[in-house]
A and B are shown apart, each in its own frame.
Chain A
Amino acid sequence: MFGPPFLRVLNSNFVHLVKHAPKVRRCYCLITLSSPLAWIWFSVSISDEPETLYKRLSLLVKGHDRAVLDSYEFFAVLAAKELGISVEKVHRPPKTIERFTLLKSVHIFKKHRVQYEMRTHYLCLELKHVTGSTAAVYLEYVQRNLPEGVAMEVKKVSFHPALSPLGRPVTESACIQIWSVGKVRNVCGVVRTIFQILDKETVLLKSTTRWHF
């Protein structure tokens, strides 16, 4: 998709590193037979899209049972180590207990109540410096093996292509009239594509008036 074209990547060496890092497209299927587990994949294809880089992946796993989270922690940490992801920190935020009191009987008997509580235990895994493909693989593996009754929140901090360097922004603007046969749904997108093809910078696109004939 088109990012704002006025942003240009800073260091050309670095562009090479990022742009040509393969974003791997997977197509695989898992076959379980009575014989040992067989993974069959068609091909590891490499696409030319630039990878998103995640500075930090923070997994917060929530469950009602502490023992289940312990086992899950062992599994997730071992999986990260095997796939070459650096685990920065593993910690246990304190559990929260939600309690409420209800009347024990359907009708009257206000003095007799029953109390329930829900305990939620947390496990926080912080992973550092993960590429987009690795993150997709790891997160899918780890999420498919989430046990029943356990929830997960993944906070991803990723990078955006760097700002254009130097100088004041251009203040002159050009007014473009676009004529099209038939309806063009995304005018700004079309103009950005044209400018990208011409390899020009656009500053800010605002579509002000549209006339329909």
Chain B
Amino acid sequence: GPALSAFPCTGLSPAAPHPSCTGKPRTGHSTPGHVPPRTERMAVDQDWSSVYPTAASFKPASVPLPIRMGYPVKRGVPPPKEGNLELIKIPNFLHLTPPAIRKHCAALKDFCTEWPSALDSDEKCEQHFPIEIETVDYVSAGTSIRNPKARVVTLKVKLSNLNLDDHAKKKIIKLVGERYCKDTDMLTITTDRCPLRRQNYDYGIHLLTVLYHESWKTEIWESEKTEEDMEEYIWENSRSQRNALDTLLRIKASENITNVTKEELLASEIVKNYKNSVVALKNEGETENNMSQYKESVKKLLNIQA
């Protein structure tokens, strides 16, 4: 009629049924007009970070890769990506391709700062900052973001970097006990008695302060330190010295040489050799060298040949 002639001829037959009405009987589910997947419209040089800007599950219609995943079908290959639960379950990194990472980092670079160039080596760091603080942060998925282990703080400092004289060093080593390692000269203080990390850190610094000051003080009862408390063997006023001097004096007396004083004997070469060998034996333990040295010094002391 006149209305229809306004429209240009499309070439469709007027009685053509809708493509979704197929001759087949209607079942419970309908198949809507099949839309081709997005992958067919993707250019090779597209901007991938707009397809996957953030972490998202795997969408087979959006990823133009022929991926297969899963246990192979009998006498076949792993199942294709369409409707593949294995591909959806596994975390994907499609949002973190190298160009995307570079874009993110370029935007984040403004918020970063440079490491001071004066601290390029470990020795310089140790020289300027002798105390090291170690803390641990924990990130995991769960009902709570808190982790009770996160409040632990460890302080590490080398005793050679602290200002300690001989007495102070020995006292601080005695005070801390197991926290000092002799091989690396490192004092390690681990605090976890407070509920917050900040509090543990403050407590650790307070402990270090107190140890430092207490080790410089000399208490009245420290003068009662006995030979068992000594950390290393000291030859002066020891039994070994007394015995050696006694023996030498008796040897001299038997040879009828008087006017030999203790100071002269102590200053003589023989006694000094003996002293060195005894001190080495006691402090370093028994080695081949030490034993032979001791043997030589005793022979010279008692004037024995061969």
Inter-subunit contact B206/A21 (CB<8 Å): no
Per the bound structure, the CA–CA distance linking A134 and B116 in Å amounts to: 12
Inter-subunit contact A147/B209 (CB<8 Å): no
| Across-interface contacts of A83 in B (CB, < 8 A) | 105, 108-109, 112
Q: Which of B110, B134, B137 contacts A153 (CB 8 A)?
A: B137
Per the bound structure, the CA–CA distance linking A24 and B109 in Å amounts to: 11
Contact status of A22 and B113, CB under 8 A, knowing A32-B54, A149-B141, A154-B137: yes
Contact status of A169 and B141, CB under 8 A, knowing A37-B103, A65-B90, A163-B161: no
Q: Which of A116-143 contact B (CB under 8 A)?
A: 129-134, 137-139, 141, 143
Q: Mark A137-164, 1 if CB is under 8 A from B, else 0.
A: 1110101011111111111111111110
Contact status of A134 and B113, CB under 8 A, knowing A146-B139, A160-B205: yes
| Across-interface contacts of B110 in A (CB, < 8 A) | 24, 41, 44
Per the bound structure, the CA–CA distance linking A53 and B113 in Å amounts to: 11
Could you tell me how many residues of chain A have their Cβ less than 8 Å away from some Cβ of chain B?
Answer: 75
Could you tell me how many residues of chain B have their Cβ less than 8 Å away from some Cβ of chain A?
Answer: 60
Identify the closest chain A residue to B210 (Cβ): A204
**Stretch in contact with the other chain, from A6-14, A91-99, A103-111, A175-183:** A6-14
Per the bound structure, the CA–CA distance linking A210 and B246 in Å amounts to: 63
B213 on the interface (CB 8 Å rule)?
A: yes
Distance in Å: Cβ of A52 to nearest Cβ of chain B = 9
Inter-subunit contact B50/A35 (CB<8 Å): yes
Contact status of A141 and B104, CB under 8 A, knowing A32-B54, A35-B50, A147-B91: yes
Per the bound structure, the CA–CA distance linking A101 and B198 in Å amounts to: 43
Q: Which of B49, B55, B125, B213 contacts A55 (CB 8 A)?
A: B125
A203 on the interface (CB 8 Å rule)?
A: yes
Q: A157-B133, A169-B213 are in contact. List 20 more A-B contacts (CB 8 A).
A: A13-B118, A21-B113, A53-B119, A55-B125, A65-B90, A75-B93, A75-B96, A78-B102, A83-B108, A84-B112, A84-B114, A131-B115, A132-B113, A133-B112, A137-B112, A145-B55, A151-B141, A153-B138, A155-B135, A160-B132
Instruction: Give the interface of A toward B (CB within 8 A).
Output: 1, 3-4, 6, 10-11, 13-14, 17-18, 21-24, 26, 32, 34-37, 39, 41, 44, 51, 53, 55, 65, 67-68, 71-72, 75, 78-79, 82-84, 129-134, 137-139, 141, 143, 145-163, 165-169, 171, 203-204
21 of the cross-chain contacts (CB-CB < 8 Å) are A14-B128, A24-B112, A37-B100, A82-B106, A84-B112, A129-B115, A139-B137, A143-B139, A147-B93, A149-B91, A151-B141, A153-B137, A155-B135, A157-B133, A157-B134, A159-B128, A160-B133, A161-B129, A162-B130, A163-B162, A168-B163
**Ranked 7 nearest A-B pairs via Cβ:** A82-B105, A147-B91, A159-B129, A151-B140, A160-B131, A134-B112, A152-B139
Instruction: Give the interface of B toward A (CB within 8 A).
Output: 47, 49-50, 53-55, 90-91, 93, 96, 98, 100-116, 118-120, 122, 125, 128-141, 155, 161-163, 198, 205-206, 209-210, 212-213, 216-217
